[in-house]
Structure 1
Amino acid sequence: MNDATLPLAGTAATALPVSTRVMNLATFLTQSARRLPEEIALVMGDRRWTWAEFEARTDALAAALQDRLGLKKGDRVLCQSQNCPEMMQAMFAVWRAGGVWVPANFRQTPEEVAYQVQASGAVGLVCNAAFPDHAAACGDLGFTLTIGGNAFGTSLEALTEDYMGQRPRVAVVDRDDPCWFFFTSGTTGRPKASVLTHGQMAFVVTNHLADLMPGLTPEDASLVVAPLSHGAGVHQLTQVARGVKTVLMPSEKFDVETVCALIAEWRVSTIFTVPTILKLIVEHPAAATADLSSLRYVIYAGAPMYREDQKRALEVLGPVLVQYFGLGEVTGAITVLPTWLHSATDDGLTGTCGFARTGLEVQVQDDSGNEVVPGETGEICVTGLAVFAGYWNNPKANAESFRNGWFRTGDLGHMDARGFFYITGRKSDMFISGGSNVYPREVEEKILTHPAISEVAVLGMPDPLWGEVGWAVCVPRQGAQVTPEDLAAHLDGKLSRYKLPRRFVMWDALPKSAYGKITKKMIREELERRELSGDAQA
């Protein structure tokens, strides 16, 4: 057939696309189980699951979900559990049966989890036996499966054994069929359910493997040090796709000595974490003596890493750092700074979060949605296949978050002439002092160059004269002595006068989210509480 005889695309007879069907995400597990049936897939303490066992357990649970529990395509299943093999089994089983995975942050209160059940419209609950109050708060659902016991609901393990050897009807899915409700961290209000789809997530897995961890093989091993409910769960999906062993911490307690021991024992090559956890690892004495030579990719995300912490990590771990910038709504895939662009010396890229991810377009835009010139600050916006389908049942948030097809991240920053991006801070973090914009991250970077300071957060606080002024909440290094006067002297000449904090507050630690991230909302709440109670220390 030559060009002259080709039918016109989009006519009634040949409306495109012909098909939007895509692979069910649970197929990644099947593929690895076929290639590597007797190799180890999951490790937790003394427990070991081979790929064949992982696949068989997932098949059995998926069959039970369909035949005994009545799960239908599109039904949402909420999970309240700390990391364990059964949590990963349940995730793949829900997908295989056609359901939507709705993982909660297991450190949330029962009331917060109950809200997520209501907001997502979940019909079922997978709950660890350690959380009876959470299960009770969720009320009567279609079913409740209990991990690690059957004090309430039905034992997930017993149900799996009942259906071992049975095969489910693997759900047929389209590109835009939801597979995961990824709840935002709720730093500016109640968490919203970001709808992730089968087609989107297949792209993200491919993109992560290309941009973050090229060359993974079954010889690799991945250590999980963050909750599987969010970014770590996405990361582990990529490991399953390549037949990489997943090593879970033996308990929910984070312990650097255990981390180092597991890296050495399993020759761990990939870790996904956040800057605050990475900082804890590299500053711990155990990291100086442990065998960490197997590490190839230590991936950090969730927040920018301060330059001083970045240099320390490179000194301890070597050239293995990978940074990515992203949000749950874009499943992390906005920019990447790969290993070869991390440097302990100032090389002209200091402070960058990298360049646009493969297949994504990133722009810095003004308030009208126009792209600004390189070097000018604006809002970072993104479009591409990694962008989510929108917030579930939240048209107002969708209208605010999308403009002309671009997702608005709410992060401020700029791009240089070579296409490298620099984050200034959250749009909500910027404050105006005496008519001038102040971006807290710039001030925080300068404060952290003082050798006595371990952590810092700068916030804009009300001021009758200037409108807002900066307060710097500082955490001194262990054993260090530093005064507000010392810090003011250290900053003199390094920042414009209007950017200098008007008050320095010393705390023993900064409050952090369940994912180990420093959030300005929590710090502001704590500041206000201490001010009201008279506990603030200046």
Structure 2
Amino acid sequence: MSMPPVSDRVMNLCHFLTLNARRLPDAPALIHGDATTSWSQMQARVGALAHALIHDYQVAKGDRILVQSANCLQMFETMFACWRAGAIWVPANFRMSPSEIAWLAQSSGARVMFCGAEFDAHASACAEFVEFVIPIGASPRGADHDALIARHMGQNPSEAAVARDDPAWFFYTSGTTGRPKAAVLTHGQLAFVITNHLCDLMPGTTEVDASLVVAPLSHGAGIHQLTQVARGVPTILPAGDRFDPAQIWALVEKYRVTNMFTVPTIVKLLVEDASVDHFDHTSLRYVIYAGAPMYRADQIRALNKLGPVLVQYFGLGEVTGNITVLPPAHHSVDDAAMRIGTCGLTRTGMQVQVQDAQGEELPAGQTGEIAVIGPAVFAGYHDNPQANAKSFRNGWFLTGDLGHMDEQGFLYLTGRESDMYISGGSNIYPREIEEKLLTHPDLAEVIVLGAPDPVWGETGLAVCVARAGRDPDPKAVLAWLAPHIARYKLPKRLLIWDALPKSAYGKITRKMIRQALIERGEWPDATAKAG
């Protein structure tokens, strides 16, 4: 039986803002320092900016617009103005270097660039790849974002018609194993992601909630804040671009913040800072962390400080965070009451498998690659057929993460396939060793890499940061660790550093640690002969 043709037209994501401006015109949309912008004000500003893009810069449907900006009202507004005009939002992590941003400009094919006035070197680096640079803030480059809005205020072009698979956002991967790739997120796919986030991560969210941003809006925090817009929740941005735990906790108390999205490293810093005990944070219902599982020692500390508010999700940018969820009810300080090490259950509407190298599903308990299908999976990488071919098999998106499931469907991450090393013929996953080391009372941060060894092929090299006021002896730490893990997994060397380098995304990456070891002359010579 043949079916009549069905339209694939979907809601333009900017319509969330339109709905809030109608229903909650005077309610706060965004609070930044002493400035509050209401939903109706933001709608008017976004409409004027979209009109400027269309009429002053001839932006058409499908054009890419690059954004290099620290978190601010203007940066958030570019998202909705792009979509109202039918353009594709291409936000960059503002901590990237000018040459890295130039790569994004070139690879995305962006025509227009919004650039914070303090990032003039980034604008210069992109000048040969984009037609127009629009400053955010006063700049000699010409009319800035706010001046354009003032000139076009009162104009509010119709929302561009979009289909489910029309690109809305180029979500650049962190590029820890090479150049960043643009994962194409579409209007229809993101509508599912938003609905899923509200269902699985923060059920019951309404306009009476309040959300605090503690990460760049260019990536996971931007997805989270878009979810808040869908429910009319005000977003609070800390003033300044320096991470200040005391300021964060003061804002939580002042605005009765109910949810925030962050990464395990930031949660750790927030709950270990003395200021956590000086402010009222009982309003928090959901502290959502992603990007990596939280080490057990850090999990217990956060639960003891904040109560049962932790929500973990596992999901890459390519699946926009939608693989698993571990809600508050499945977090506990009691080891016996918690599945330690799990990243949770499959997200609503998604399907997750642990597969072998041939794409066959593995039984419970066996380690393989995590694969996923469902409406949250992205539309592929922009202009990168090789990466697309490598990342999909039989319709499944291959995450590159290794793990296993238990009989009840809880997923456990073993690590990235690229993290694993082989010592004397045995596969070793660093995370297991890191978890054990972090229970040492003198250690604050830990990372383990497989380093060249003339006898075993590779052996573990642990790089650690001590807790404040502690001065652990590396040999004593290894002696302490020895009874806790199999002998063949014991790192051969352990180093104590003052700090670990972190990526622009706030992550500790093995690539960066390896490079730092090389620069310090502490990386073993792969050609050295056994003594």
TM-score band, normalised by the shorter chain?
over 0.9
1:9 and 2:2 aligned: yes
For 1:193-251, what per-residue CA distance to the aligned partner results, in whole angstroms no more than 9, with x for missing partners? 11000000000000000000101111111010100000000000000010101000111
164, 176, 194: which is aligned to 1:205?
194
For residue 243 of structure 2, what is the aligned residue in structure 1? Answer: 254
- TM-score, reference length from structure 1: 0.96
SS at structure 1 position matched to 2:118: coil
Distance 2:141 2:52 in 1: 18
The question of whether the paired residues in 2 share the 8 Å contact of 1:32 and 1:51 is answered with yes
62, 75, 79: which is aligned to 2:67?
79
1:361 and 2:354 aligned: no
For residue 267 of structure 1, what is the aligned residue in structure 2? Answer: 256
**One-letter amino acid of the counterpart of residue 347, structure 2:** R
Distance 2:376 2:142 in 1: 36
For residue 148 of structure 1, what is the aligned residue in structure 2? Answer: 137
The question of whether the paired residues in 2 share the 8 Å contact of 1:143 and 1:153 is answered with no
Moved more, 277-286 or 58-67: 58-67
For residue 47 of structure 1, what is the aligned residue in structure 2? Answer: 35
Distance 1:167 1:222 in 2: 27
For residue 105 of structure 1, what is the aligned residue in structure 2? Answer: 93
Alpha-carbon deviation of 1:289?
2.2
Alignment of 1:15-414 (within 5 A): 16=5, 18-140=6-128, 141-346=130-335, 347-414=337-404
463, 467, 472: which is aligned to 1:477?
467
**One-letter amino acid of the counterpart of residue 28, structure 1:** F
**One-letter amino acid of the counterpart of residue 355, structure 2:** Q
For 1:262-294, what per-residue CA distance to the aligned partner results, in whole angstroms no more than 9, with x for missing partners? 001111111100000110000000002210011
Distance 1:178 1:239 in 2: 21
Identity %: 61
For residue 3 of structure 1, what is the aligned residue in structure 2? Answer: none
Distance 2:359 2:145 in 1: 49
Distance 1:147 1:475 in 2: 38
**One-letter amino acid of the counterpart of residue 154, structure 2:** G
Alpha-carbon deviation of 1:481?
2.3
SS at structure 2 position matched to 1:510: coil
For residue 409 of structure 2, what is the aligned residue in structure 1? Answer: 419
**One-letter amino acid of the counterpart of residue 14, structure 2:** A
Distance 2:173 2:338 in 1: 33
SS at structure 1 position matched to 2:484: coil
Moved more, 116-125 or 483-492: 483-492
**One-letter amino acid of the counterpart of residue 237, structure 1:** L
- TM-score, reference length from structure 2: 0.97
Alpha-carbon deviation of 1:533?
9.8
For residue 527 of structure 2, what is the aligned residue in structure 1? Answer: none
The question of whether the paired residues in 2 share the 8 Å contact of 1:76 and 1:123 is answered with yes
The question of whether the paired residues in 2 share the 8 Å contact of 1:204 and 1:333 is answered with yes
**One-letter amino acid of the counterpart of residue 308, structure 1:** A
Superposition misfits of 4+ residues, deviation over 6 angstroms: none
The question of whether the paired residues in 2 share the 8 Å contact of 1:63 and 1:169 is answered with no
Distance 1:362 1:464 in 2: 39
SS at structure 2 position matched to 1:59: helix
SS at structure 2 position matched to 1:408: strand
449, 460, 482: which is aligned to 2:450?
460
For 1:342-386, what per-residue CA distance to the aligned partner results, in whole angstroms no more than 9, with x for missing partners? 111112401100000111100001111111110001111111010
395, 412, 422: which is aligned to 1:432?
422
The question of whether the paired residues in 2 share the 8 Å contact of 1:132 and 1:152 is answered with no
**One-letter amino acid of the counterpart of residue 386, structure 2:** K
Alpha-carbon deviation of 1:485?
2.2
Q: Which runs of 5+ in 1 are unaligned?
A: 1-7
491, 500, 507: which is aligned to 1:510?
500
Distance 1:357 1:33 in 2: 31
Distance 1:484 1:334 in 2: 38
SS at structure 2 position matched to 1:119: helix
SS at structure 1 position matched to 2:124: helix
The question of whether the paired residues in 1 share the 8 Å contact of 2:332 and 2:338 is answered with no
The question of whether the paired residues in 2 share the 8 Å contact of 1:144 and 1:154 is answered with no
Distance 1:408 1:172 in 2: 32
Q: Which runs of 5+ in 2 are unaligned?
A: 525-531
